[in-house]
Every structure is written in C-alpha cells, then in structure tokens.
Structure 1
C-alpha cells in the first residue's frame, strides 16, 4: 500500500505512516513528527512574537531539525578537509551572529552519541530529550557566553548524548575545530528537573511539550534564575496522565487541518 504524502509544511514532510505514530498511543515518535512540531513552533513564534523594532517575529528562537543534528554528529568530522566550511555554513544558516540573545531548541537522540562508524541509519535511536542552548553576546567581550539546559523525561538517559551535541554546537558557533577551542571538553550542561515519563514510548511527546512550554519564557537569558524558571515552566506544562494523550491528539488535529488547506 502506498504511503501517501499528507503535508509539506515549510519542508517538514508528513506521510500517512508518520501520522499513524501520533494516532497510536504507544508509538515512539520519529524524526518527521518531531521536526513537524518544532517547525510549527518556529513559524508560530515568527508570526506572533513582537520584536523591539515593532516588526513581527521572534527571531532569537531557533528550532532545529533532528536530521540536521544527526548530520552534524555523524557526517561532520573535524578531521575532514571541509569541516570548517561545513560548520561555517551552519553558523550562517542558523543566524548565530545577528542578535545579542539567541535560544536554540535542539532535539537530542541517544544515537547522537554513537561513533561515526556505529551510525547505522537515520531515524534510529531509542530515546528523545530536549537541549536548550542560549547564546548571549556582550559588546565588551570578544566571545559570546553560552549556557546549555537539558530536559530529559527519563532523567540521565541522554546525558552523554547531550554533552556530545553541546561540544559540537560550540564548534558551529565559533566555526572552528576542537583543536582551536580551549576548554570545550569542560563545558557544563545543566541537567534540569523535569516531569518524568512512566512508559517507554512518550519521550518524543515530552520533548515537544518541553519545547512548547519553554518557547513561552521571555525572561532575560543572563538571569541566574534561568534554570529555576525553566524547570518551573516545564513542570507546570508537561506531565500527568493525560498530558501525552492530549498533545498527541492536538498535533494530529493540527496536521489534518493543515493538510486540508494544502
């Protein structure tokens, strides 16, 4: 039976098989479903956020595609000749230099910590979590300051993968290889308290819930209370017996509505 294309939303493609993962209450979400919802959040933010210059859009927030992170982790090796060019292109595409504050929402898969040779195929892995990367530029400092906040609905499971991705993201920020950066191995990833899933399949739903909740936080990124604020936000939004069921249904309804308008 043909796997019908239902929706192409700003290059986030959804097929019938992807929608079925959301409809089935015990299905593990794949890259396509994760990317669709994050793309939806990206464009909702751009549409409704108000910038200081009075224009529409909140360009300080960026939601990344899982396949892009997979490419960064498994195909961009610093030993490669074109590594600096690759990360420089990402730096430009992600617009990392244009604002004083930026937040990057990064989906984390446990497979992202696998070696290049161990990487079998796209869409693998067994657990999702969310990494929030904040970048603050101060005109008095030559280098931007960064913080990483990790939200894992199965606490500790993706800790190593989140650290590995954070280290690679710094190379993108600075457009350099590891050998050119000092203290890249000593970066701190803040492991945040989050609601915990009580099954083996809702990790992707929790990731999306965390991302939606955190996208609403408008506080100063330099605040020392940021971690506490983020933890309070995700705790009040996600968790509970009906949280995952309701969010799955909401995303399903959204896809169906958009597909009829396509």
Structure 2
C-alpha cells in the first residue's frame, strides 16, 4: 500500500458497510469524507490506494457495468453486517474487521499494509473467472483451498480472516471443527457461504448449517474433504495449466511453485 492511512481505510469500509447492498464510486466516497482530516494533498490517490487494499483483502468487490463512468464498489455478498445502524458502531466494526485480518490488536494511523497474499487472491479471482473449464476450475479450487488451510498465522488464531474470506469465494467442500466458550461443533462436506458480523460475535454460514463464534480463534480445524495430499494437487494443477496459454498462466504457476515442496 502506498499512501493510504489506516484511518482512511476504516472510513472507506465504514462507508461500504453503511451502504450495504448499494454500489458506490471513489468520487461518491470523496464527496462525504472530510478531506482535511487526511491531508487534502493527493486525496484521490489515497482513496484509490484504500479501495485497492480493500479489494485485495476481499472486503470490497467491483460491480461491473458498461453504463457507469466510474468504477463502482460494494460490500461482497459473502459478507453480512448485523449491527445497529449507527456510524460509530459501523466504524468500530470496520476497525475490528481490518485488525482481525492483519492479525494485530492495534495499528497506528500511518500503518502501511504489505501485499503478502495478493497472489492468493489473484489466483482465486482467476479460478472464479471464465478462464478455466468447469472441471479444471474445480481442481484449482481444491488446490487453492488446501493451500489456504495450510497457512499458519503468527497470532493465537490458527486461521486468518484472509483464509476464511477466500474460502467463501472458492466454495469447495470442507470439514470444520469449532470450539467456543460454551460449545463444540463439527461438520463435514460443507461449503462456506457467508460471513456475518454481529456486534460481539461472528456467524459462519455454510450451505447446510451455521455456527456462531466469538472470533476466528474459535475455528480449530478446517480441511478439504479431498484426501489427496496437497503436493499431488499442486502437480495436477500445474499439469492442467500447461494446456492453457503460457502468458496467461505464468503467474499462477509461480504461485503454485511457492507452495510446492
């Protein structure tokens, strides 16, 4: 991330949450933001950087249409907000979501976020596009899902919010184990459907069930129902990519090579 501050990112996400279900442009957001608060110099570039960050983290999605001059953004359908409709509540929720994603308890206003996992998100986006055949895309989704759940984060939570958000996009069949302060749950052959943020909890919605958790750290275990080892899936995926144009798959292959032993 270049010039956008943490506080401005929070404000953009807060605006998206307040306008849940409605698309907005960078110009729409600029019309309501207090630009003096963010040093009016280069405010357009800062807003663009903030939107790019939220896009790469899965907190925004682009609503494509040829009828609009400006790109329009909206909160993804995979994220649901169930809190009281107050700006202060939304802003605190935005801070909590971003901090949860970054694996931090607090961030100063000038914190610059690294694009450590941009390649994963690009791979998910490509897999969900029309580039691959249906059968090949299914294999890619399993491979990326296995890569995601193999990643450990340097926090008390075994899985990151990034992992959950991308599993929501992939919708591969998974098995999960969850343990809250009061209950323990398990489910097999379920697909991530939606992530709902409440005032003090999160609800994981699957295609067959849903679980309310206190935080991401309540998720003890996630894995694909496919029993083939990750390395075998990586080999299969790389072989599939050989049948597609090299210039279009080069970065995808490089992404898979990072996780090949």
Q: What's the TM-score once normalised by structure 1's chain length?
A: 0.28
Q: What's the TM-score once normalised by structure 2's chain length?
A: 0.28
